[in-house]
Amino acid sequence: MEYDMIGPAIVMGLGCIGSSIGCGIAGMASHGIMTRVDEGHGKFIALSAIPSSQSIYGFILMIMMKGAIKAGTLTGIAGIGIGLFVGIAIAASSIYQGRCCVTAIQASAKQPAVLGKTFAALGIVESFALFAFVFALLLIR
């Protein structure tokens, strides 16, 4: 049995798990708000999809790690370590971004003018997944 692809699978799996949890949290909030607000539902739906971007980081890392393992520049055990810890960072970022999306949805429902300002916090939380992604790329090259 080959264990080399466990690391790439871990980072992909955790990225998708985190994104689904984050989108689920924000999606539930958007549904609740849409029952109380008559218009502007599109922005609530869009906000609930923002945590999905971290699954893309997991996907790209999976492909890059697989290539590095096949090329012999990354060992299976190093791949597991990178996949696990970077995957946890990406998942945590997704989940907390979903929670930030909840408050963005609530704030913009009450005061639509604040919507743009809420993206600052969403971007800050996203940046930690991006940092983990970039640092992982540096480790596997």
Instruction: Summarize the confidence of residues 14-26 as an average pLDDT.
Output: 98
Total tally of structural domains belonging to the chain = 1
What is the domain-level CATH number for residue 16? 1.20.120.610
Instruction: Summarize the confidence of residues 6-28 as an average pLDDT.
Output: 97
DSSP characters over 13-79: HHHHHHHHHHHHHHHHHHHHHHTT-SS-HHHHHHHHHGGGHHHHHHHHHHHHHHHHHHHTSS-HHHH
CB atoms inside a 10 Å sphere around CB 1 = 2
Any domain includes 88:
yes
Terminal Cα-to-Cα distance of the chain (whole angstroms): 26
pLDDT at position 136 is 97
Write phi, then psi, for 29 (nearest 5 degrees): -65, -40
Residue range 121-139, pLDDT digits in tens: 999 999 999 999 999 999 9
Instruction: Summarize the confidence of residues 112-126 as an average pLDDT.
Output: 96
pLDDT at position 2 is 76
Query: Contact, 30 vs 48, CB < 8 A?
Result: yes
Residue 81 has pLDDT above 80, yes or no: yes
Any domain includes 1:
no
Q: Which domain holds residue 11?
A: 6-140
pLDDT at position 103 is 97
